[in-house]
Amino acid sequence: MRALALPVILLGTLAGTAAAQRPVLPSVPQSLTLRDAVDLALRYNRSYRQVANDRSASAWGVRNAYSQLFFPSMSAGLGFGYRGPGSQEFGGSTFALESSTIGSEYNVSLNWQLSGATLAQPGLARAEMRATEAQIDGAQINLRAAVQQQYLAALQAEAQVEIVQIQVTRNDEFLRLAQARFQVGQATMLDVRQAEVAKGQAEVSLLQARQTVLVEKLRLFQQMGLPAPEDPNVVTLPDTFPVTAPTWQLGTLLRAAEEGNPDVAVLDARAASARASEKSAKSQWLPTLNLSAGWSGYTQEYSNPEFLVESQRDALNGARTECDYANASWLNDGVEPLSCGSLVLTPEREAAIRSGNDVFPFHFTTQPFSARVSVSVPIFTQFGRESRVAQASQLADDARERAEDQRLIVRTNVSQAYYGLIAAHQAIGIQETNRVAAQEQLRLATERYRVGSGTFFELLDAQVAEQRAQADYINAIYAYHRTIAALEAAVGRPLR
């Protein structure tokens, strides 16, 4: 059980950490305006958050580029070592070490390089950051357009529910009318059955329309990046959108799209970044200046300090023997003899040797300061430099062509949306006329059936025509609003 307890605890800790890293989702207001939906999407939509997360990395890229240009890199190291006793051969000689040693070392180094690449890097990093910002702005505009389109789709579905609800109420009235006429002998059972079928079909259509509302609201919540409530119907969409005659001029819209369309802005920024990369590649022809400096130190301590004491004692004994021999054999009479009394290892000197050995780990022996300056000039790189310049130039040309092609696409999209908007506004007027005519047709058919001049089939046909006219009118209104949303997305800014 203990073997299982630790993994379970670790998994629980990791799960808690992961949950803590997730953003806390807000409670969605029951009355959700379009502005609320857009604000929530900008905070919680996962796709947009992935794009917005690139801002921090690009900002640090700019800082890194300027840091490489103006400041040296700095590194520091600290190490520890051990060597056991034994013998080692080097250059034909054998060196014996009777005591193990422990040691430590440190080093601090500074390095700075100035080249064409470091000179061009700040401009390249700024271009990349502008491209990232343009991409984030474009993602924000596209997300606003997507949320607005889905908000309109949900409102359109709710409007269709109202139409079908009227149809259900009307079919219920038709059924009572057919039953009343049948009871007085002015209609047949076929009329009653037809009225019952029509009512049932209307109720099924109402269920389907309500289901469509649920689906569209679920998609709206998905677009916002939030989980929908268990019953999406508790959230209402209060915004209304008036229908007004379009007053925008195509030329003004085209100029606004040239300046503000997010896709054009992104590709322009990418083209600028590609040109900066081309300049960086061409800078490889310049020489490179390298500056470096360093500080270091080390310690070496014998594990057995008595080894040092004995070595010093043996050395002093040997020196004293030579001193005595010199006094006895080399010096003539009358010459003052050499002083050999100092060649003795006193207790004080033994203590000093032991104390001097106690240097591990931080009593370093400092090494001399070192510095180096070098200049390198590329002469022949096996055409690698030329190949990189050619590739960078190709990418810059391709990026410029893509930007120009996108301008043409945007111009086409703006023009198409503008003419579509005019047609959609005109279609609303036509559908309004058709709706009024269908309502009048249904009223006349109802009166004819009530007084016995018309058949129930005529009444059903008039009702179907009126329902179709109502649906077409609603669809025309929301097609107009969706076209405005598409035009705003193509231009790159709100128009109303």
User: For residue 494, is the peptide bond before it cis, meaning its omega torsion is within 30 degrees of 0?
Assistant: no
Separation of alpha carbons 380 and 102, rounded Å:
48
Mean per-residue pLDDT over the chain, rounded: 85
pLDDT profile of the chain (496 residues), mean per 10: 37 42 63 93 93 91 90 92 77 68 92 86 86 89 92 94 90 86 83 87 92 94 91 91 90 89 86 85 84 92 80 80 76 68 78 84 89 88 82 88 91 93 94 92 87 82 89 93 90 84
The structural domains of the chain, with segments of one domain joined by +, span 25-83+98-287+377-491
DSSP codes, 298-350: EEEEES-HHHHHHHHHHHHHHHHHHHHHIIIIISPTTSPPP--TT-S--HHHH
Residue closest to 410 by CA, chosen among 128, 138, 146, 42: 138
Q: What pLDDT score does 334 carry? A: 60
Pure H helices in 89-115: none
For the domain made up of 25-83+98-287+377-491, the CATH class stated in words is mainly alpha
The encoded tokens of residue 487 equal 């035009």
Q: What pLDDT score does 95 carry? A: 63
Q: How far apart, in Å, do the first and last CA atoms of the chain sit?
A: 66
Q: What pLDDT score does 223 carry? A: 93
Q: What pLDDT score does 9 carry? A: 38
Residue with tokens 């609603």, as numbered in its chain: 474
Separation of alpha carbons 72 and 245, rounded Å:
64
Measured at the alpha carbon of residue 251, what is the angle toward residues 245 and 252, in degrees to the nearest 5? 70
Distances in whole angstroms, Cα of residue 71 to Cα of each of 117, 138, 186, 373, 481: 15, 35, 101, 16, 56
Separation of alpha carbons 416 and 137, rounded Å:
23
Pair 257, 490: CB distance under 8 Å: yes
Q: Is 425 helix (H, G, I), strand (E, B) or coil?
A: helix
Pair 353, 309: CB distance under 8 Å: yes
pLDDT tens-digit profile of 59-68? 999 999 899 8
Q: What pLDDT score does 265 carry? A: 85
